[in-house]
């Protein structure tokens, strides 16, 4: 199966014919959980005061409306009575508020994710304290409480100033399996030097360092109760079977206590000799403090406020899947999970509801070269489908076409006043007095409607002057009029560092895009905005949930 990247609501995608029962090996999801907003906002009732400025990218993600009611009904009629009763009880407690809408929309998706997971598969859900307690109840209902494996705590940041509370520095990752037989590759981390010095302080005649550890079973094991070399069975039994004990004895790995006359002292216990050079490492615990967050100085930073580090996803994918297995991320954001899956030799599927995310992932995966084969589904492939996107979802059209012309959305795509700027196309400009070439930015202005005219071009010229921008690109759906062309030509020309002249203000249409053309930009640096984002770069968030 070819790797796939879907644009669309993940519920609709999961319910499509592309997603049969039991074909995914591992699911990681990092759904929007509002970690950057007010922690009480999810409890705001429909009649409460709005705090939309705090939601930003998650605007309209969760409100009790027809979509939330439809999601709730979908769970009630799903056939899973455990989840249905749980959700009904939650509604009785929470009423019809934003948190309840979020839980209903998550519940119906978790049921679909459970369906597409193989019997040997696992699911990791990444969340924060805002809704983690409710989500765990839903996961218990969907997977069964006996298939809960771990609650992982990831320390995502250092201490910061929360007012009158303990500083919130961690996220929660719930690990569930679909059955008792699931993929598991023991994750180990190298022993720290301090640990080796304190625990392996002895050495044999060959200089091999070792420690002496108990040979007794930590809990009663009747099948391990037997006499060994004259030593009576301990009450809880031995740690090893009789056959394994014999092998360790032959290999000289058992130390026997002796009396003063050299005979075995059977009143004491043998001890197991554990050599340092035979130990692969320490088992990774459920508290993860060794993976730093993607901060402002991180090389893999892409600009997503909730971007997760690649090392986090590599640990999860390596532990719960094998090379060639299929990894699914239904809220793939800027693509940390699919990047990690590709790097580790897994197949992958990513789903996101914003063209902003899809464009970011396409740029990110381009770093693997032309040999990376994957299909993007749900994005415009021709002029009619692009015009349809522009008419129905102008903001998504804006994100999509900005990436298609090698641009970057303004302020990372966050909603708010754009000051006449929808994005930038970065290019290499002239050298300064030191001979160092400067990175310049051409302003991108996207008009998704068909009602465009010369006044809009004049407005863009004004924006260029205000921002002191060397160039600008006016993107429109329809062909420009002669008056628009005259206004653009009046902006003059820009002499590039390559010695060629370029129109300062260029008009660019959808038709030109599908003819394979691009705006004329001098010494275009396609990676200018992604310099710090290597192939090992990190995840993000998905916006609106629907049903």
d(CA 429, CA 538): 29
| CA-to-CA dists, residue 19 to 4, 60, 80, angstroms | 12, 27, 20
What are 55-78's pLDDT values in tens digits? Answer: 233 344 578 889 899 999 999 999
For residue 279, is it left (φ>0), alpha (ψ between -120 and 50) or beta? beta
What are 250-290's pLDDT values in tens digits? Answer: 998 998 999 989 899 998 999 998 888 777 777 889 999 98
From first to last of its 547 residues, the chain has per-residue pLDDT tens of 789 999 999 999 999 999 999 999 999 999 876 443 333 334 444 444 332 222 233 344 578 889 899 999 999 999 999 999 999 999 999 999 889 999 999 999 999 999 999 999 999 999 988 889 999 999 999 999 999 999 999 998 776 665 677 888 899 999 999 999 999 998 887 777 787 788 888 888 888 888 888 889 888 888 899 999 999 998 889 999 999 999 999 998 998 999 989 899 998 999 998 888 777 777 889 999 988 887 766 667 666 667 789 999 999 999 999 999 999 999 998 899 999 999 999 999 999 988 888 888 888 898 888 788 899 999 899 999 999 999 988 988 998 999 899 888 887 656 555 678 999 999 988 888 888 888 899 999 999 988 999 999 999 999 999 999 999 999 999 999 999 999 999 999 999 988 899 999 999 999 999 999 999 998 776 555 444 333 333 333 444 444 4
In degrees to the nearest 10, what's the CA dihedral of 116, 122, 126, 127? 80
Phi, psi at 65, each rounded to 5°:
-150, -165
Task: Please state, for a pLDDT cut of 70, what percent of the chain lies above it.
Answer: 86
- H helices, E strands: number in the chain: 16, 22
Q: Please give the span between the terminal C-alpha atoms of the chain, in angstroms, as a whole number.
A: 27
Phi, psi at 151, each rounded to 5°:
-115, 110
pLDDT at residue 510 in the model: 93
- How would you class 33 by CB atoms within 10 Å of its CB: exposed for 0-12, middle for 13-18, buried for 19 or more? buried
> Contact, 185 vs 317, CB < 8 A?
no
Tell me which residue has tokens 């299909």. 375
d(CA 106, CA 384): 33
| CA-to-CA dists, residue 41 to 45, 55, 107, 131, angstroms | 9, 9, 20, 11
Q: From edge to edge, which strands make up the β-sheet containing 24-29?
A: 287-288, 148-155, 170-177, 117-127, 24-29, 326-329, 347-352, 3-7, 374-377
DSSP conformation letters of 330-397: TT-TT-HHHHHHHHTT-EEEEEES-HHHHHHHHHHHGGG-TT--EEEESS--SHHHHHHHHHH-HHHH
In degrees to the nearest 10, what's the CA dihedral of 217, 223, 228, 233? 60
Q: What is the mean pLDDT of the chain?
A: 85
pLDDT at residue 367 in the model: 85
């Amino acid at each position: 199966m070819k790797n796939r990247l879907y644009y669309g609501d993940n519920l609709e995608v999961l319910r499509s014919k592309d997603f049969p029962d039991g074909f995914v090996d591992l699911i990681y999801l990092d759904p929007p959980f509002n970690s950057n907003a007010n922690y009480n906002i999810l409890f705001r009732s429909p009649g409460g005061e709005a705090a939309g400025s705090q939601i930003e990218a998650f605007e309209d993600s969760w409100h009790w409306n027809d979509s939330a009611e439809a999601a709730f009904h979908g769970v009630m009629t799903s056939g899973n009575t455990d989840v249905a009763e749980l959700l009904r009880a939650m509604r009785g407690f929470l009423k019809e508020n934003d948190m309840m809408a979020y839980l209903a929309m998550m519940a119906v998706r978790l049921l679909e994710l459970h369906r597409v997971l193989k019997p040997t598969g696992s699911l990791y859900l990444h969340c924060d304290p805002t809704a983690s307690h409710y989500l765990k109840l839903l996961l218990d209902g969907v997977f069964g409480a006996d298939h809960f494996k771990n609650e992982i705590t990831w320390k995502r940041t250092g201490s910061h100033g929360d007012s009158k509370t303990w500083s919130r520095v961690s996220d929660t990752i719930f690990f569930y399996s679909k059955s008792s037989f699931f993929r598991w590759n023991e994750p180990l981390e190298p022993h720290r030097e301090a640990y080796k010095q304190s625990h392996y302080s002895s050495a044999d005649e060959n200089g091999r360092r070792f420690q002496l550890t108990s040979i007794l079973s930590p809990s009663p094991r009747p099948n391990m109760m037997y006499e060994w070399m004259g030593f009576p069975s301990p009450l809880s039994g031995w740690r090893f079977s009789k056959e394994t004990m014999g092998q360790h004895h032959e290999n000289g790995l058992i130390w026997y206590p002796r009396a003063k006359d050299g005979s075995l002292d059977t009143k004491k216990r043998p001890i197991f000799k554990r050599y340092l050079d035979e130990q692969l490492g320490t088992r990774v615990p459920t508290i993860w403090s060794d993976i730093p967050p993607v901060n402002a100085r991180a090389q893999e930073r892409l600009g997503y406020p909730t971007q997760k580090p690649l090392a986090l996803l590599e640990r999860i994918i390596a532990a719960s899947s094998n090379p060639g297995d299929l990894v699914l991320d239904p809220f793939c954001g800027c693509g940390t999970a699919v990047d990690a899956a590709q790097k580790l030799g897994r197949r992958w599927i990513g789903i996101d509801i914003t063209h902003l995310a899809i464009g970011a992932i396409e740029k990110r995966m381009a770093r693997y070269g032309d040999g990376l084969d994957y299909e993007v589904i749900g994005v415009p492939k021709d002029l009619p489908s692009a015009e349809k996107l522009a008419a129905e979802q102008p903001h998504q059209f804006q994100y999509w076409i900005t990436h298609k012309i090698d641009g970057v959305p303004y302020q990372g795509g966050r909603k708010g006043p754009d000051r006449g700027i929808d994005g930038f196309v970065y290019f290499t400009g002239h050298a300064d007095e030191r001979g160092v070439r400067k990175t310049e930015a051409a302003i991108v202005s996207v008009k998704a409607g068909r009602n465009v005219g010369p006044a809009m071009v004049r407005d863009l010229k004004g924006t260029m002057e205000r921002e002191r921008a060397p160039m600008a690109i006016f993107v429109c759906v329809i062909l420009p009029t002669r008056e628009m062309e005259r206004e653009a030509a009046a902006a003059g020309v820009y002499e590039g560092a390559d010695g060629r002249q370029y129109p300062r203000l260029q008009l660019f249409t959808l038709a030109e895009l599908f003819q394979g053309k691009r705006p004329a930009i001098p010494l275009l640096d396609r990676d200018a905005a992604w310099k710090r984002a290597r192939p090992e770069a990190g995840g993000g968030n998905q916006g609106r949930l629907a049903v």
